[in-house]
């Protein structure tokens, strides 16, 4: 298993380094949440680009747990990289003033605004520093649409986008990410006390088992027989995958020409 993650680490490091170089960028920008996904991406980016070329930003709001800042400090100290804190609340208050009461009373619309504003700030920093924004979404969340469209999913590259959550956890251990980060309950920090698994209604372990089986074209019945997970849960995951397809792809482009962006005008990674 250690050998496998050494290989994965090497591939991702080369992917980050090559993508940044081909873009003519100087480094990478990453939003640090204090969670395991951003910690793993930060560690890999530091190996790929050098700690001085990776710029971390912690952007807390009033609902961000205080321990998240402690974990960011612990991580960045270990990696030898600097980070900047950009408080979010003043900006959010400006949005609340501008938006009508009907919009601001919608909790999910308000919760989704936070990651979108955060990502806008990261892209400002990326432009300022001629750097690329490194995404922190994992495969489990991408497959079921558990992210904010044009929010936390907005990035120039997604280093762990093809790793399931459990694989990210194992890679974090291989990279010796601080245990305080690995063992904490995953949370998007959208409201006080929010945790991912409670909101989803199933564990990441269950989700990954379902997704891995579905990836190999197994039916709901076959997944149930293999994992013992309730058919209702499996069917719900299948439904989430289908409903959130629009979140995983770029805006649909009507094909009118001979070679069209997003259809058949694509550039291979290694050229």
Residue numbers of the domain that contains 232: 201-271
**97 vs 30: which has the higher pLDDT:** 30
Examine the domain organization and report whether 146 and 235 are in the same domain.
no
What is the radius of gyration, based on Cα positions, of the chain? 19
Return the closest-CA partner of residue 115 out of 183, 191, 182, 39: 191
The per-residue pLDDT for 3 is 62
Examine the domain organization and report whether 101 and 169 are in the same domain.
yes
**Number of independent structural domains in the chain:** 2
| 189 φ/ψ sector (left φ>0, alpha ψ -120 to 50, else beta) | left
Report if pTM > 0.85: yes
Count each helix (H run) and each strand (E run) in the chain, helices first: 14, 4
Residues 224-237 have a mean pLDDT of 96
Return the biggest CA–CA distance within the chain: 55
Examine the domain organization and report whether 227 and 175 are in the same domain.
no
pLDDT per residue over 165-223, tens digit each? 999 999 999 999 999 999 998 877 766 777 888 888 999 999 999 999 999 999 999 99
Q: What is the mean pLDDT of the chain?
A: 91
The per-residue pLDDT for 107 is 77
The per-residue pLDDT for 228 is 96
- pLDDT > 90 in the chain, percent: 74
Residues 25-54 have a mean pLDDT of 98
Confidence grade of residue 257 (pLDDT, cut at 50, 70, 90): confident
Examine the domain organization and report whether 14 and 125 are in the same domain.
yes
Class of residue 163 by CB neighbours under 10 A (exposed 0-12, middle 13-18, buried 19+): buried
- Rounding to the nearest 10 degrees, give the CA dihedral for residues 10, 16, 19, 24: -120
Confidence grade of residue 16 (pLDDT, cut at 50, 70, 90): very high
Considering the domain boundaries, does residue 88 fall inside one? yes
The per-residue pLDDT for 271 is 44
DSSP code for 105: T
User: In sequence order, what E strands does the chain have?
Assistant: 27-31, 54-58, 83-85, 131-133
Say if CB 257 and CB 230 are below 8 A apart. no
The per-residue pLDDT for 267 is 61
Examine the domain organization and report whether 224 and 115 are in the same domain.
no
Examine the domain organization and report whether 136 and 258 are in the same domain.
no
The per-residue pLDDT for 101 is 60
The per-residue pLDDT for 102 is 67
Residues 157-170 have a mean pLDDT of 96
The per-residue pLDDT for 99 is 84
Examine the domain organization and report whether 143 and 270 are in the same domain.
no
pLDDT per residue over 100-147, tens digit each? 766 666 678 888 899 999 999 999 999 999 999 999 999 999 999 999
Say if CB 148 and CB 141 are below 8 A apart. no
Going across the sheet that includes 54-58, the strands are 83-85, 54-58, 27-31, 131-133
d(CA 256, CA 271): 27
């Amino acid at each position: 298993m250690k050998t496998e993650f050494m290989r994965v680490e090497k591939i991702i490091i080369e992917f980050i380094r090559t993508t940044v170089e081909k873009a003519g960028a100087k480094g990478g920008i990453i939003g640090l949440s204090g969670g395991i996904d951003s910690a793993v991406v930060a560690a890999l980016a530091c190996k790929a680009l050098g700690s001085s070329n990776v710029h971390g930003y912690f952007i807390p709001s009033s609902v961000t747990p205080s321990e998240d800042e402690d974990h960011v400090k612990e991580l960045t100290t270990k990696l030898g990289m600097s980070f900047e804190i950009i408080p979010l609340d003043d900006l959010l208050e400006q949005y609340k003033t501008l938006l009508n009461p009907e919009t601001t009373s919608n909790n999910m619309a308000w919760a989704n605004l936070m990651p979108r504003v955060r990502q806008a700030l990261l892209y400002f920093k990326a432009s300022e520093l001629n750097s690329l924004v490194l995404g922190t979404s994992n495969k489990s969340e991408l497959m079921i649409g558990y992210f904010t469209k044009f929010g936390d999913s907005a990035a120039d590259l997604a280093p762990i986008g093809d790793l399931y959550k459990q694989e990210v956890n194992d890679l974090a251990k291989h990279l010796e990410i601080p245990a305080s980060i690995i063992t904490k309950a995953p949370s998007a920090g959208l409201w006080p006390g929010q945790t991912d698994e409670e909101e989803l209604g199933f564990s990441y372990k269950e989700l990954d088992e379902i997704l891995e089986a579905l990836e190999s074209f197994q039916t709901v019945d076959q997944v149930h027989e293999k994992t013992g997970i309730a058919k209702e849960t499996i069917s719900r995951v299948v439904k989430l995958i289908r409903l959130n397809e629009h979140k995983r792809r770029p805006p649909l482009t009507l094909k009118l020409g001979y070679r069209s962006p997003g259809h058949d005008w694509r550039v291979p990674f290694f050229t």
